[in-house]
Each structure stands twice: as structure tokens, then as C-alpha cells.
Structure 1
Amino acid sequence: MIKWITAGLVILVAFAGCSPNNVTVDNSLKKYFDQYKVTGCFGLFDNGQGSFTIYNLPRYRDSAYTPASTFKIVNSLIGLETGVIPDTSTIIKWDSVVRQRTECNRDMTMVDAFRISCPPWYQELARRVGEKKMQHWLDTLGYARRNDTFKIKNNLDTFWLDNTAKVTADEQLGLVKRLYFDQLPFQKRAQRLVRGMMLWENNANYKLSYKTGWNTTDKGNQLGWIVGWIEENNHPYFFALQVESPDPNVDFKTIRIELLKSILKSYNFFEGKR
């Protein structure tokens, strides 16, 4: 998204058209991160004004981390584009391996696996896509290539989980913005279907669409993502929130959405007046 930060980000998922003149750094948001005892960053792009509001700019633009389950956005697009998964109602059967997350121990459609964020389902999807096609689409998209070095190496079904593929928050925001406008290098149908899976809240005042992610960093810290957009009066605003903590007891499952909503509420969202 931020064109001026480094030549390493001039890739397909990084948007042009941003300059220092349309970036507002809002470090007052630190109080929300402190409230939940996490560090991290946040970016909000007002599409109508072409302006960014960012907390912790250095981390937002320069620091790359595992995408975790936010990669399900890209994995879904590739699965649909290649025809490996014809539509979001397609079922992949349970492999009968009993896992700790019992909700994953069943036959499941893509939309179910996406919305409960089931790793084994998407690992099987990656294996069905295959390394050659997966690498082709990652290269085409420019995903996780800020240093132009990422290649799948015997980890086709784990590269988005094992800290080999890494993305910046800026790259994540760019991805969801292009997805919203059908600007990714996939058929419009595939992009429309993925957008549909991302829609969580839809009422008279706003629509809220997102995908979460949760994993650990190279250092063993918890890392959480929530990326997507909020629409009010048919106007989209795109966001990327990233949180990190060395404390394994911090409840990342709930604080991501709570923190996001606290920040958005501070900017007067959710009332249909934006």
C-alpha cells in the first residue's frame, strides 16, 4: 500500500498512489493495545479520501510476520481459480485424524472451514493444488515476496504457518483492498465468493468483513491478525490490525475483534454516519 516506504514493497499486492502527505500517524491508539496488554500496529485506509491512519508506522510498514490463517483468503482464491474447489459448498472429507479442535473433526465445506478457520481443511486444499500451481499463483500475486526470496520448500501445507512466508500489515491491507475491488489476478467470481465468506456483520448502519489469523512468531510470541473492511453508506474503509504478546494466557481469540471494534468506534464507525 505505501509506495514510498521501500522498493522491496513494489509488488502486485502493494498499492501505488500513497505518499507521506496522505498518512496520519495516530499513536493515541496505543491506549487500546495497552488495555489488552499487547503490542502491534493498525492501519485504516479511507478509500474515498485516499488517506491512511496508522498506529505504529515502523512496524506497520516494515515488519513482516507469518500470515497465519489470513492466508485462507489467498488459499481460497487459488483453490477456486484452479478449479480444485468448484465452489464454497464443496466438501473435503475429514481424514479421520482426531485433533484438539474438535470442530474440525468432520466433513466440511469451504465456507465452514473458512469461517471457523480450520487449518487441516486448508492444508489439504494446498496439497490438492500442488506445489507448482501454488508457487505460480503466489508469484503472480506477489505474495510474501517483499525481499523477492520466498519459495515453497517441502512445506506446501505449512508455509503460511511455520514463519517461512511472511507479510507486512501494509501488504495485508493492500490485499484486501484489491480483493474488494476485484483487482486481484483471479476471476471475479472467485473474488466475489471469498468476499462473501468474509462478511460477518450486515445491518442498516454498516457491513463488517474480515479474516482473522492466530499463530506464533519466530520467538514464540502469540501473533494475531484481523484484516478486512467496514462499509458505511456504501463507502469502504480497509483495515489491518496486528497484535503480539509473549504471554500465552492472553486471549487472542477474543481480543482481536474487541480491539478492532474499540478502535473503529473511536473513529465514529458503527453508527451509519461516516
Structure 2
Amino acid sequence: MPKSFFAILLTAAAPILLTSCSTNNVTVDNSLQKYFDSAGVKGTFGLYDNGQGHFTIYNLNRFRDSAYPPGATFDVLQALIAVQTGVAANENSPLLQPDSAGAEAGSIRLAAAIGKDSLKKWVDSLRYGNKDISEYTDSTHPAGRLAITADEQLGLVKKLYFDQLPFFQRTQKIVRGLFQKEENSNYRIVYKTGEGKNAAGQPTAWIIGWEEENKHPYFFVLNMDSANAQSNVSTLGLQLVKNILGPMGFFAGKK
């Protein structure tokens, strides 16, 4: 990923924007703040309508410019590396299964199996976030000082969905299958959660993934932090995603 998804789109569209004085591919919707306020959290949300090539974004500055620890969403990259290099043979590998000790323990186990040198090579070559895994050891979370923007997260899931990352198609298909999912006859929502802490020590959460209706994908990312140290931010974040998408007409099979 030499550039973030948002940056690539804006670069490609720049001459058109200068000519038309229009930003038709981006809607900054700060009315979505009410959902964050009602949940007692602060954050950003981005939605990409692949069919229309259009973004809907709340809190553009945070979406584009503020980086946060990826938490367990880093396991998306780790799983890709593990399958690609043969560390994990397939989706049934114990390394890719949920860890009873929690997401962080499972992430450490996966990173230890990959090895720091291999992990660093891939993080550097893919330019994942700020690329800083300097604090990684076999007993600490592999993300260390690693931080990534919501913009970059959205680009990652979009490319993963379309087999556009520099991994085998088989590898990307296996990793897509590791995401959590909910579905019925109207829709399918596929997501990965991750938790961490911001500079102030407050709990943060990521929800990244996509929603499909009538075979059309819509990619989303939510990043948030809570002043309540006891809150289950992953559960709260997923509900917040649903609260935002519902009034937009999602989950009814009409998109």
C-alpha cells in the first residue's frame, strides 16, 4: 500500500476537482456526531460505496490524519503473512483460531510463530501504518507503537475484499473467512474488531469490514475512544456501526 486508499482516490480525482470545484466523491457528514454523543464516545466513521465510488465520512480530520494502535485488527495482516508463508496451513490452523485467553494473547501467539524479522519485512514492504513494531517481543503485543489511520484501515479491507493485496488469492480468501459475520436473506455484515488505548490511556476500538446487499459491497471503518475505562468498546463500537448504517437504509435488502 504505497499510499492510503483515500489519498490515492483524491490524487486521481484532483484534476477533476480543480476543474469542477466539486467534491462529489466525498460527503463529510458531521450529523453523524449524534450517534457518537449518544454513546458517550468520540471517534470517526467512514463508509465507501464501491458501486458509486463515493465516501461518507464523519470527522474527516480524525479519519485521515489521526493514527491509533490497531489492536487485534493487526491480526488481519498477521493472518495474511502466516498463510502466505506457510506458518498457518489453512483456516483450520490452531494459530488462526480464537484464543481462550483473549484476543491479545492470540495475537502474541501468532506474531511469535511468524517471527519478528518476517513481521517487520512485511510491515515495512506494505507500509502498514507508521511501521513501528520496535517494542515487539515474544511476550508483548506485536503492535507495540504501531499506529494506523482509519483511512488506511478502510483501504486495507477494500483491497482484501477484491484480492488486491500482494498476497495469493487463496491467502486473501482464507483471511476473509476469519472475519466475524452476521447475515440473513437481506444482508451480510462482515467485520473485525480491535481494542487498544489512546495517548491518554482511554480504551479505543476499531470496527472494520463491509456490508453486502444484493451482491454490492459497502466498506466501513469506525474508530472511537471512551472516557469510561469499564466500557466494552468493541461491543459498543459494533452497535454504533449498526446505529449509523440502519438509518442510511442498510439491512433491508434494498441497497
Give the structure-2-normalised TM-score: 0.88
1:1-274 correspondence to structure 2 within 5 Å: 11-12=2-3, 14=5, 16-18=8-10, 19=13, 20-92=23-95, 110-113=96-99, 118-145=103-130, 150-157=131-138, 158=140, 160-162=142-144, 164-274=145-255
Q: Unaligned 5+ residue runs, structure 1?
A: 1-9, 93-109
Tell me, in whole angstroms, the C-alpha distance in 1 between the residues paired with 2:107 and 2:143.
Answer: 11
For residue 33 of structure 1, report the CA deviation from its aligned partner: 0.3
Counterpart residue identity of residue 72, structure 1: D
CA pair 262-240 structure 1, distance change in 2 beyond 3 A: same
8 Å CA contact 1:232, 1:273 repeated in 2: yes
Q: Unaligned 5+ residue runs, structure 2?
A: 14-22
Q: Deviations over 1:69-98 (max 9, x none)?
A: 111111111111111111121225xxxxxx
Q: Please identify which structure carries the higher helix content.
A: 2
8 Å CA contact 2:133, 2:142 repeated in 1: no
For residue 218 of structure 1, report the CA deviation from its aligned partner: 2.0
Tell me, in whole angstroms, the C-alpha distance in 2 between the residues paired with 1:137 and 1:44.
Answer: 27
Counterpart residue identity of residue 5, structure 2: A
CA pair 188-119 structure 1, distance change in 2 beyond 3 A: same
Tell me the secondary structure at the aligned position of residue 61 of structure 1.
helix
For residue 159 of structure 1, report the CA deviation from its aligned partner: 5.6
RMSD of aligned alpha carbons? 2.0
Tell me, in whole angstroms, the C-alpha distance in 2 between the residues paired with 1:242 and 1:154.
Answer: 23
How many corresponding residue pairs? 242
For residue 120 of structure 1, report the CA deviation from its aligned partner: 1.7
Counterpart residue identity of residue 52, structure 1: F
| Identical residues among aligned pairs (%) | 45
For residue 21 of structure 1, report the CA deviation from its aligned partner: 3.6
Give the structure-1-normalised TM-score: 0.82
Q: Deviations over 1:121-173 (max 9, x none)?
A: 2212211211221111112221013xxxx3432514546544x1100000000
8 Å CA contact 2:197, 2:203 repeated in 1: yes
8 Å CA contact 2:83, 2:90 repeated in 1: yes
8 Å CA contact 1:84, 1:129 repeated in 2: yes
For residue 225 of structure 1, report the CA deviation from its aligned partner: 0.7
8 Å CA contact 1:13, 1:141 repeated in 2: no
Tell me, in whole angstroms, the C-alpha distance in 2 between the residues paired with 1:153 and 1:249.
Answer: 29
